[in-house]
Structure 1
Amino acid sequence: MSNTNLITHLRHVGFAMPQLEEQRAFYSKEWGLTEVAEKDGVHYFAAEGSPEPYVIRLRKDDKKRADVISFGTATRENVDALAKQLKQDGVQLIHEPRELSAPGGGYGVRLFDLDGRVVEVSADVAPREYRDLEPGESIPARLSHCVINSPNPQATVDWYEKCLGFQVVETLHIHGNTLMWFMRCSHPQHHVLAVGNGPHVAMHHVSFDMRGIDEFLRGVGRLQRDGKELIWGPGRHQTGDNAYGYFQDAAGNTVEYTAGMSQLGDSWTATEGDLSDPAVLDVWGTSNAWGENVMRSHFNTPDEGLFVAPPL
């Protein structure tokens, strides 16, 4: 099968951590998501402007880890065909295609990626009722994208291209080294996944779309007024043309408010960016400097759950 148009979007990201209650409070009371369900110790959070049943799931664990990265595909037949192809390619499945029991149900397969992350691909998930956000509402409308770190980034990029059909649309370089690969799926959004060149396997950041630039700035300002450290921003990346403001959740994972990401048409050409040009990082020139504090936050701590399936 051809995987080029297999993945339609990013559905949700799951985190596990010791400080569950602090995380629940952060994502609901501060970040602006809505806790919609709890089942068997897993808490599910939706974005008000998204039809996805949930965009973040949280679970208590003694170790800090990214539990799952979930992507959507169009049909159950895609899930079955993907599972068959992955097994032929020697990819380790966590479970075969089956009915899913999380909010929204659906039909999906779970597997380990090259670095040992848990990846889920699902179809036929029932949408939730959602609403159009009002002007000025400074809460996430939907999940935008996630970025992962790998100490073997080119191999990880190659794996996502071959196994899940992602395509590299842009790379960022500095002094001859490639630091980031941005990858699209069948959705026209510039990227839904990126791979960073990092010292260890970890989540780089998870990004949430705001209604617009005004709501983005209101959200960044709201969190700062509440005493949350703005790690980097507010600015606007040349790559993807999206606004950025980075914070940390209660477990130390970096999360981003964003808005305005560019959309790709049917005809596009992969590009490169040189990070020695400050406009590549921030075309507005309004952000604080990209330095050690930002890099430390984006490197995160090593994922403690590699090649270990979560209990749920």
Structure 2
Amino acid sequence: MTFQPITHLRHVDLAVPDFDKQRAFYGATWGLAEIGGDNGIALFAAEGSPEQYVVRIRRDRRKRMDLVAFGAANAADVDELATRLTAADVPVVSEPGAMDTPGGGYGFRFFDPDGRVVEVSAGVGTRAHRKIEEREAIPVRLSHCVVNSRNPERLRAFYERHLGFRLSDTLYSEHMGELMYFMRCSPVHHSFAIARGPHVSLHHASFEMRGVEEYMRGTGRALRAGTRMTWGPGRHTAGDNTFSYFHDPHGNTVEYTTELAILDEDTWHPGLHDVDDPITQDQWGTADPMSELVAKEQFNDPDVLFSAPPV
């Protein structure tokens, strides 16, 4: 049986020069709850999620994605994953051990083939959370994370082989080949995806809303606050989810979404979706047509690679 240690996406950690502006955005504008932090670190939770936090902001002179964090079922799977990665000569940043982040737990960090830091942990204490009410336009949870890679085929193979991710769907173009791989670690269509890009970077982080009404109200709040929308509102074909893409104050793309497909893994077969078909990108036809200019909005700045964050 294939080793499948990953259960879900935990959080995405970002470092930025203008800490105060970024902090204000993720709280007041984006609708996350600041739950703590000190010495240039702010932690943000989603009110509907049991995760201790879904976004970490850290002050740094350089903009970067510090890491992406995934959950595992138990400490034994964490240890087994670390052993397998070491045997495969994957660079390990920190050995498995007790974690000093909120909720504790047991985990470790390593570099994926692109040089980004990945954290895997188990046994993290849950946070008191609540049901998001009707018309309450704040994120329920962190939905998924998408990264840019110059070699998405290699990165896909790594996450499949070592972390047990499964391919749900692929976006392709007749002229450019395969452009994005949607990867799942549960019946949810994707919690991670890999896009073909000119450099390694964060493509976008996506936050799930209660429903379409709340998704549209959140989109409107962000627009009224002067947040730059780069694409949307619309509804994708792969994943069947809604989308509104914005830039945070440092140019990272963040998305409001809802209704991401839940798959029957016993019967699902990955599909190939042609990006030149307008229905692939937006079933509703309400967003601007996909173009090179729209695609570039998610390229982001080149990331800091093979360099672990200080915390």
Answer whether TM exceeds 0.5 for this pair.
yes
Structure 1 unaligned residues grouped into runs of 5+: none
Correspondence 1:117-266 to 2 at 5 A: 117-176=116-175, 177-185=177-185, 187-266=186-265
TM-score normalized by structure 2? Answer: 0.97
Distance 1:296 1:173 in 2: 16
| SS in structure 1 of the partner of residue 298 of structure 2 | helix
Larger mean CA deviation between 110-119 and 172-181 belongs to 172-181
Q: Give the Cα separation in 2 of the matches to 1:109 and 1:311.
A: 14
1:283 lines up with 2:283 in the alignment: yes
Report the residue type matching 1:72 in the other structure: G
Structure 2 counterpart of 1:113? 112
For residue 40 of structure 1, report the CA deviation from its aligned partner: 4.0
Equivalents in 2 of 1:39, 1:107: separation in Å?
A: 22
Q: Which ranges of structure 2 fall in alignment gaps of 5 or more residues?
A: none
Cα distance in 2 for residues equivalent to 1:104 and 1:215: 29
> Which whole-Å CA distance do the structure 2 matches of 1:258 and 1:282 have between them?
13
Aligned to 2:292: 292
Counterpart-to-counterpart distance in 1, 2:188 and 2:274:
22
Task: Describe the superposition over 1:119-169 as per-residue Cα deviations: whole angstroms up to 9, x where unpaired.
Answer: 000000000000001100111000000100001111111111111111111
- CA–CA distance in structure 2, aligned partners of residues 13 and 229 of structure 1: 21
**Identity in percent:** 50
Deviation readout 1:157-197 (Å, 9 max, x if unpaired) = 11111111111111111124111011011x21000110000
Q: Deviations over 1:221-280 (max 9, x none)?
A: 111122222210000000000000000111110000000000011321111101111000
Query: Which amino acid counterpart does residue 269 of structure 1 have in structure 2?
Result: H
**8 Å CA contact 1:231, 1:293 repeated in 2:** no
Match of 2:35 in 1: 36
Contact preservation (8 Å) 2:68, 2:119 = yes
Kindly provide the CA deviation profile for residues 194-231 of structure 1, in whole angstroms up to 9, marking residues without a partner as x: 00000000000000000001100111111112222221
Indicate yes or no: 2:73 matched with 1:71: no
8 Å CA contact 2:170–2:179 kept in 1: the answer is: yes
- How many residue pairs get aligned? The number is 309
Corresponding letter in the other structure for 2:154 = A
3-state secondary structure, aligned to 1:81: helix
What is the rounded CA distance, in whole Å, between the counterparts of 1:6 and 1:261 in structure 2? 22
Moved more, 59-68 or 34-43: 34-43
Instruction: Please report the RMSD computed on the Cα atoms of aligned residues, expressed in angstroms.
Output: 1.1
CA distance in 2: counterparts of 1:124 and 1:40, whole angstroms? 26
